[in-house]
Amino acid sequence: DSGVTQTPKHLITATGQRVTLRCSPRSGDLSVYWYQQSLDQGLQFLIQYYNGEERAKGNILERFSAQQFPDLHSELNLSSLELGDSALYFCASSVRAGGDNEQFFGPGTRLTVL
């Protein structure tokens, strides 16, 4: 158990819908990262927040958005869902931003778009 929690574990929805994925970082961690893992694309970095501020952006679609709240939990919002958005979504946290500290990953949310 990494200490990072993600809800829900599974989510099934239809094309065109909007969903929100939630992540609670480890106690004391200020940085949160979101990743998407689909079968054909591997693990793709989406976005990073540090203490509420966006710090890095990866291959995140415009239909997706995220934020980190004052209590440091984060949400990833996915809208106008397409079949290709079906994937595992992981959240990770670390104490600081920057590449000199390790990330701890949550168990993931499996999103299925029908």
Partner 1 sequence: DAKTTQPPSMDCAEGRAANLPCNHSTISGNEYVYWYRQIHSQGPQYIIHGLKNNETNEMASLIITEDRKSSTLILPHATLRDTAVYYCIVRRRRDRDDKIIFGKGTRLHILP
Among 33, 49, 81, 93, binds partner 1 (CB under 8 A): 33
- Residue from 42, 62, 70, 71 that binds partner 1 (CB under 8 A)? 42
CA distances from 18 to 13, 14, 42, 70, 80 (A): 8, 9, 23, 23, 6
**C-beta separation of 49 from 34 below 8 A:** no
Question: Positive or negative CA dihedral for 86, 101, 56, 68?
Answer: positive
Q: How many CB atoms lie within 10 A of CB 44?
A: 14
Binders of partner 1 among 50-109, rule CB under 8 A?
A: 50, 55-58, 88, 90, 92, 96-100, 102-108
Of the residues 4, 19, 72, 78, which one makes contact with partner 1 according to CB under 8 A = 4
Binding positions for partner 1, rule: CB under 8 A: 2, 4, 33, 35, 37, 42-45, 48, 50, 55-58, 88, 90, 92, 96-100, 102-108, 110
